[in-house]
Amino acid sequence: MAFSITTKRQEKIIDFLLAGVSIFFKPILVVLFIYLSLFLHTLVQEIVLILSVSQFSVLNVLDTNFGAQLAIGGIKGIMTIMAMLASCYIMWKLIIKGPDWVMDLIGIKGGQDTIVSDSLAQKLERRGTMIH
């Protein structure tokens, strides 16, 4: 960094600052998106359950028709499973892609934090081999 300042290489200085901002804000964004995904998980699951199960609740089947009751119960069970899978998928996508989406939205490409972490991993590997 000091060499870049003395030689006035602004692109290296900007890359360094962007990497620092990215590393600083990424954990904060992950925590925020975890809370958002928990809220949306409950919201999507409950809305899909209410909409899908209430459609089959209006069917008034006689107690003697076991086949119809079994079919309606099976459809309600499948709808419940699909609601849970849909809410888990939305939760997973928000936690994984949310921070990168926000970083891209504000103009910071998400690659800076991976570049820094890769370079740190390479340095640790080099020092680990020097010890042995």
CA distance 98 to 114: 16
Helix axes 10-57, 66-105, angle to 10 degrees: 160
DSSP 9-50: -HHHHHHHHHHHHHHHHHHHHHHHHHHHHHHHHHHHHHHHHH
Run of H or E including 95 = helix 66-105
The pLDDT assigned to 35 comes to: 92
The pLDDT assigned to 56 comes to: 76
Are 72 and 61 in contact, with CB atoms under 8 Å apart? yes
Query: From the first residue on, what is the mean pLDDT of each consecutive set of 10 residues in the chain (132 residues)?
Result: 61 72 82 90 84 76 73 86 87 85 75 55 62 51
The pLDDT assigned to 109 comes to: 67
Q: Taking the model in full, what pTM does it have?
A: 0.60
Look at residues 85, 102, 82 and name the one whose alpha carbon lies nearest to residue 94: 102
The pLDDT assigned to 131 comes to: 53
